[in-house]
Amino acid sequence: MGGSTTSTPVTSGDGALARLMAGNKRFADGVPVNQGRDTLRRAEVAQGQSPFATILSCADSRVTPEVIFDVGIGDLFVVRVAGNTATGPVVQGSLEFSVENLNTVLLMVLGHQSCGAVSAALREREPHPGQIPSVIEPILPIARSVEHLAPHRRLDAAVEANIRAQTQLLADLAPIIGPAVSAGRLMVVGAEYLLDSGTVNLLT
C-alpha cells in the first residue's frame, strides 16, 4: 500500500500522540496498515526527513517503534539504548538534534515490560563484564528506590520509575528540550510497551 500514515501534517504534540496511539491500537489488534514502508515512501523521503515524533526507546529487539506504532519510513526519529536512559551526552545530543533541527513536536520515552537493563540494575551486586556496567549505572538509583517493595513487584515498579525519571530529565533539559517544552513547541511523555499484549500505556 502506498503513501504514509503521516500524509496529513502533524503540527502539535497532542496530534502526534494521537497518531502514535491509533497506530499502536492497529498493531495490538492485529490489523496494521503498514503504510509508508514501500518504494514510493522510500523515494519520497530520500532527499530529506521530517519526522513528526522522536522516540527514546530501549534497544530490546522486541521493541521496534515503527512497527508497534504502525508508521512508515521517515515518520519517527528513533534513539535506542538499553534501558532507555537519557543521561549520556550522545543520547541527549541526538534527541536535541531532532527537536532543534527536525522540529519534532513530540518526544516519547518508551520503556517496556520486563526490561533486561532494569532487571540487571536490580541485581547490581552481580558482576557484569565489559561495558555493561555503564548501561546499568544510570538505573541504579531507581533500582535502589524500590528495594522496600516485595521482590515480585520490584521489576515492574523500577521499569515505570525509570521511564518517569528519564521523561522528567528530558522535560527539564537545557538548553534545547526544556525551553521547547516551556514554549509549547514540544510535548514530552513517558510510556511503557507491554510485550504480552503489544499495547503501549501512557504514564501520566
The Cα–Cα gap between 14 and 3 comes to 22
pLDDT digits 0-9 by tens, 167-179 = 999 999 999 999 9
Answer whether residue 132 is part of any domain.
Answer: yes
- What is the rounded average pLDDT of the residues 37-63? 96
pLDDT at 151: 95
Answer whether residue 2 is part of any domain.
Answer: no
Q: Tell me how many domains the chain contains.
A: 1
Answer whether residue 155 is part of any domain.
Answer: yes
Tell me the pTM.
0.94
Answer whether residue 131 is part of any domain.
Answer: yes
Q: Which own/partner pairs from 28-35 qualify as long-range (CB within 8 Å, at least 24 positions apart)? A: 28/197, 28/198, 28/199, 32/67, 32/70, 33/1, 33/5, 33/70, 34/1, 34/70, 34/72, 35/1, 35/2, 35/3, 35/4, 35/5, 35/70, 35/72
Average pLDDT, the chain: 95
Answer whether residue 23 is part of any domain.
Answer: yes
Percent of the chain at pLDDT exceeding 90: 92
Answer whether residue 8 is part of any domain.
Answer: no
- Domain extent, residue 197, equals 13-203
pLDDT at 5: 47
162: domain CATH number is 3.40.1050.10
pLDDT digits 0-9 by tens, 59-71 = 999 999 999 999 9
